[in-house]
Chain A
Amino acid sequence: MNLAIDYHRTASTTASVGTVSADATRPRRGEVYDLLFGSEAAAADNPFLYVLQRCTAPGTSTAVVPQPLDPADAATEMDAGENHTVEPTYTAAAILLEIPLNQRATYRWIATEGGRLIFPATASNGIGIATPTSSAVAVTVQAHVNER
C-alpha cells in the first residue's frame, strides 16, 4: 500500500526532522519512492543540507500516522515520527541521499521501480531524515512510502 508521511520541525543541526521505520513487533518492508524537501519559513538565504540515513532504532519523536493514498487500504504497520528529542540510532556511513539546498529552494526526488530506497522487514529498522547543516527555521519533508 502507498502512504504519505508529512514531517515538520524547526530545523536543527542535532535533532532529526523525522523517521520512517518498520514496526517493532510486526515489521514489513518499506520503499521510499517520492521525497519533497522545502521550508515554509519567511523567504531568506540560508544553506541547508538534508541527509537521509539508515537507522536501526527510531529514537524518541512525535508520532506521525502515515496516510494511505487509497482510503480503502487497511491501517499500516509502518511507524513514523517527527520532531525528534532523542536521535535515531543511525547506521554509520549508511547515507542514502544527501542534498544541499538554499532555504528558498524546493527539492523533489522521484524513484523509478528499480531505484526505490528499501528498508528491511526488521524490527525498528528504517530511514531517518536529518539536517546536519541548517538554520533554525521551519522545514517540511513529504515522503511517499510503499509498504509491502
Chain B
Amino acid sequence: MRSPTGYATIVEPDRPTIERDTTTCGHCQRVIFVKPGTACTVYLIVDRPTLTWREAMGAFCRVCMRPVCLPCHDHGRCTPWEKMLEASEARERFLQQAGIRG
C-alpha cells in the first residue's frame, strides 16, 4: 500500500509471521486491515462467529477523499472524525462555561 496509516504484525509459534498494512476510516477512525497488493480496494474483515478473516470490497468517501469502513459506508453521510472531535469538545466547553461540569 502506498501510504498506509498503520502496520500490524502477528507473531505465532510454528506459523509464518503475518504482516499487514492498515488504514484508518476517515469517519470513525476504525482500523481497517487491507489485503496486500490491492491498494486499499479490498478489506480484510473479522468474521465474529468463526473468528476468521474474510475479504470484502473496500469503500472510499468522495466527499472527504478518504477510505472509510463498511459500516460508515452503509451510513452514507460524510462526517469526518475531526468534526466529531470538535463537536464533542465544543459541548464540553459549553458545559464547563455553564457550570454544569468541572
Contact = CB atoms under 8 A, between A and B. Distances in A.
Contact of B89 (A96, A112, A117, A122): A122
Interface string A16-46: 0000000011110100000000000001000
A14 interface: no
Interface residues of A, number: 38
Contacts of B48: 49, 133
- Please classify the interface of chain B as helix (H, G, I), strand (E, B), loop, or mixed, using the class held by over half of its residues: mixed
Given A49-B48, A49-B51, A107-B8, A95 B30 contact: yes
Nearest to A26: B102
B13 to A, nearest CB: 5
A2 B7 CA distance: 19
A1 interface: no
Nearest to B50: A100
Interface residues of B, number: 33
A47 B51 contact: yes
B102 A123 contact: yes
A133 B51 CA distance: 9
A2 to B, nearest CB: 17
Nearest to A127: B29
A112 B6 contact: yes
A97 B89 contact: no
A101 interface: yes
Nearest to B19: A108
B11 A106 contact: yes
Nearest to A105: B12
B102 A122 contact: no
B85 A120 contact: yes
A104 B12 contact: yes
B57 interface: no
A122 B88 contact: yes
27 contacts: A47-B51, A94-B28, A96-B29, A96-B30, A96-B31, A99-B8, A100-B51, A101-B10, A104-B13, A106-B11, A107-B8, A109-B6, A109-B7, A109-B22, A110-B7, A110-B8, A112-B4, A114-B24, A115-B4, A115-B5, A115-B6, A115-B31, A117-B29, A117-B31, A122-B89, A122-B92, A133-B51
